[in-house]
Amino acid sequence: DQQVKQNSPSLSVQEGRISILNCDYTNSMFDYFLWYKKYPAEGPTFLISISSIKDKNEDGRFTVFLNKSAKHLSLHIVPSQPGDSAVYFCAASAGQTGANNLFFGTGTRLTVIP
């Protein structure tokens, strides 16, 4: 049972425009959400996170939005750069009882076109 879902396997965006990557989850106990970026032949690299007490967290060009009522989060990258081309995974964990278990989505491949 996939508790974290990324329904778009791929996304192409022009350089300079905004990239929006989406993620949905089913477990209402999740209280911590992360985005990871992965290049080929490398492990995932932590990008940005958000706690469920917030609805937005921003770090430079990257902003994560959390809509708890919709069980939805998104990652906005603006402006997009060719170096952002990678696979992006969202992940979630459930605080007290499940803090160790990160549930991952299946990833979205972002291609930024120069």
Chain positions contacting other proteins, by CB under 8 A: 2, 4, 32, 34, 36, 41-46, 49, 51, 89, 93, 95-96, 99-107
Q: Give 3 or 74: the residue with its C-beta nearer to other proteins.
A: 3
Q: Give 15 or 104: the residue with its C-beta nearer to other proteins.
A: 104
Q: Are strands 4-5 and 56-59 parallel, antiparallel or unpaired?
A: unpaired
Tell me how far, at minimum, the Cβ of 13 lies from other proteins, in Å: 23
Tell me how far, at minimum, the Cβ of 4 lies from other proteins, in Å: 8
Tell me how far, at minimum, the Cβ of 31 lies from other proteins, in Å: 8
Q: Give 5 or 76: the residue with its C-beta nearer to other proteins.
A: 5
Residues 6+ apart with CB under 8 A from 7: 22, 24
